[in-house]
Amino acid sequence: MNRITAGHNDAGERLDRYLSTVVPDSSRSDMQGRIKAGIVKVNGETVKPNYKVKEGDEIIVEERELVDSDIVPEDLDLDIIYEDSDVAVVYKPKGMVVHPSAGHTGGTLVNGLMHQLDELSGINGELRPGIVHRIDKDTSGLLMVAKNDVVHRNLVEQLVDKSVTRKYTALVHGVIPHGKGTVEAPIGRNPRERQEMAVVDDGREAVTHFNVLERFKDYTLVECILETGRTHQIRVHMQYIGYPIAGDPKYGPRKTMDVGGQLLHAGVVGFTHPVSGERLEFSAGLPDDFEAVLEEMRRVEK
C-alpha cells in the first residue's frame, strides 16, 4: 500500500497521470485500472481517473491483487550470501528488478527467492514477500530478506532507528578534493520531472556520508554510507553536490559512461539478528563490469 500526500506543485494534475509518476513500478494504465477498481482512495473517497489533484489530498493506493499463477517461483540461481531459519542475505545482480509489478511478473528477485527459500514474510503483501528494503534495478548488491513477519518488523525497526549498516561503492564524475563529507539535504519528488527525485525544501530527511577511496583524472571512487534510505538517495545527493554517479541515465550528465546503468554497488549490509541478538555484517565485492572500468582507468593513468 502506498500513502501519498499531494504537495503544492502537484495541484491540478490528473490523478492517474500523477500517481503513475509517484508510485514505484507503475504506469498510467495501471493506475487507471486501480482507480476504476476502487482500490485508490482520495481523502477516503473513490474518484475517477480524471480527478484533479489538490494540495493536501491524502491518497491511498492499494496493490492490485494478482492471482497465484501470476507470480511463480523461478530458478534464477540467486547468490544467497547467508541464510538461517529467520533471515537471509541475498546478492541482487545489476539489471534485476527486486519485486514483481503489474505487467512485470517474471525474472524478479522475488521470483528467485520463492524458488530458493522455504519461507518468506508476508507483511509487504504477495508482491513483495520477504522484501524489507530495495535497491534500484541497475544497482547491484546485498539485501536483507525476512523469513517471517516478526523478523520483518524487527528489521524495519532497525532501518527506522538507523542501526542498519549500508555501505555502497560508487564511481562519480569529477575529482573530489576532500577526503570525506556528509550530504544532509531533504529528498522528495522533483516538481519539474515527476519520475525523478530531487533535493527539495519540503522533502523527507536524507543523510549520506561519503569517503574518498581512489581518485582518477576525471572521476572519484567513493564509499557512501546511508544514514537514511530515501528513493534514489545516493544518486540524488551526489548529483546535488556536483559529483553525479558515472553511467547514471537519470541523474548523470548527458555524456556519461555507457555501462548499462549507474556504477553503484551495495557492498556491505550489517544488522542485529532479530532472534539471536548477534551483530552480523556481510560484504560482496564489486561486479565484474564495475571492476573492469576501474582496472581500465588504472591502466590508462599509470
| Residue range 172-207, pLDDT digits in tens | 999 999 999 999 999 988 888 877 899 999 888 999
Question: In the chain, how many domains are there?
Answer: 2
CATH number at residue 204: 3.30.2350.10
Could you read off the pLDDT of 26-61 as tens digits, one per residue? 677 778 888 988 889 999 999 999 999 999 999 999
Residues 38 and 140 occupy one common structural domain: no
Compute the average pLDDT of residues 235-254: 97
Amino acid 208: pLDDT: 98
Amino acid 65: pLDDT: 59
> What is d(CA 56, CA 59) in angstroms, rounded to the nearest whole number?
9
Amino acid 67: pLDDT: 47
DSSP class per residue in 153-200:
HHHHHHHHTT-SEEEEEEEEES---SSEEEEE--EEE-TT-TTSEEE-
Mean pLDDT of all residues belonging to the chain: 91
Amino acid 101: pLDDT: 73
| pLDDT-above-90 percentage for the chain | 74
Which whole-number Å values give the CA distances from 58 to 82, 118, 159, in the listed order? 40, 38, 25
Inform me whether the pLDDT recorded for 72 exceeds 70.
yes
Strand partners, 89: 82, 144
Which whole-number Å values give the CA distances from 35 to 4, 25, 47, 63, in the listed order? 15, 16, 7, 11
What contacts 153, CB < 8 A, 6 or more positions away? 123
Residues 103 and 249 occupy one common structural domain: yes
Amino acid 69: pLDDT: 44
Cell of 290: 564495475
From the number of C-beta atoms within 10 Å of its C-beta (0-12, 13-18, 19+), residue 171 rates as: buried
Residues 153 and 235 occupy one common structural domain: yes
Residues 99 and 207 occupy one common structural domain: yes
Inform me whether the pLDDT recorded for 84 exceeds 50.
yes
Local confidence band at 103 (pLDDT 50, 70, 90 cut-offs): low
Which whole-number Å values give the CA distances from 95 to 28, 60, 135, 259, 263, in the listed order? 23, 30, 11, 11, 12
The reply to whether 67 falls in a domain is no
The reply to whether 69 falls in a domain is no
More confident residue, 264 or 64: 264
More confident residue, 177 or 104: 177
Residues 48 and 178 occupy one common structural domain: no
Active site residue 136: yes
Residues 169 and 29 occupy one common structural domain: no
Residues 102 and 207 occupy one common structural domain: yes
CATH number at residue 52: 3.10.290.10
Give the total residue count for the chain.
Answer: 302
The reply to whether 71 falls in a domain is no
Compute the average pLDDT of residues 137-147: 97
Q: Of the residues 16, 136, 138, 248, which is catalytic? A: 136
Could you read off the pLDDT of 146-163 as tens digits, one per residue? 999 999 999 999 999 999
Residues 49 and 133 occupy one common structural domain: no
Amino acid 202: pLDDT: 85
Compute the average pLDDT of residues 213-242: 97
Amino acid 279: pLDDT: 98
Instruction: Show the domain range for 109.
Output: 79-301
Single-letter amino acid, residue 285: G
> What is d(CA 275, CA 56) in angstroms, rounded to the nearest whole number?
41
The reply to whether 240 falls in a domain is yes
Local confidence band at 85 (pLDDT 50, 70, 90 cut-offs): very high
Inform me whether the pLDDT recorded for 68 exceeds 80.
no
Amino acid 26: pLDDT: 66
Given 35, 61, 87, which residue is the final one in a domain? 61
| pLDDT-above-70 percentage for the chain | 95
The reply to whether 252 falls in a domain is yes
Residues 142 and 96 occupy one common structural domain: yes
The reply to whether 72 falls in a domain is no
Inform me whether the pLDDT recorded for 66 exceeds 60.
no
